[in-house]
Amino acid sequence: MKKSKFSQPQILKILRQQTKGKKVRDICTQHNISEPTFYLWKKKFLQPVSRDKVRLRDLEKEMSQYKKILAEQTLLINLLKDLLYKKS
Domain ranges of the chain: 1-46, 52-88
Q: Which is nearest to 10 in space by CA: 24, 26, 27, 25?
A: 27
Residue 1 has pLDDT above 60, yes or no: no
Check residue 19 and give its pLDDT. Answer: 86
Is the pTM higher than 0.95? The answer reads: no
Quick check: 42 and 15 in contact, CB under 8 A? yes
| Residue 49 φ/ψ, nearest 5 degrees | -60, -45
| CA distances (Å), origin 4, targets 11, 23, 35, 36, 71 | 10, 22, 15, 14, 50
pLDDT, tens digit, 9 for 90 and up, residues 34-64: 999 999 999 888 876 677 788 899 999 999 9
Least confident of 4-18, 37-51, 53-67, 71-85: 37-51
Helices (H), the chain: 8-19, 24-31, 35-46, 48-87
Q: Which is nearest to 37 in space by CA: 73, 77, 4, 60?
A: 4
Check residue 53 and give its pLDDT. Answer: 82
CA angle, 57 as apex, 55 and 45 as ends, to 5°? 40
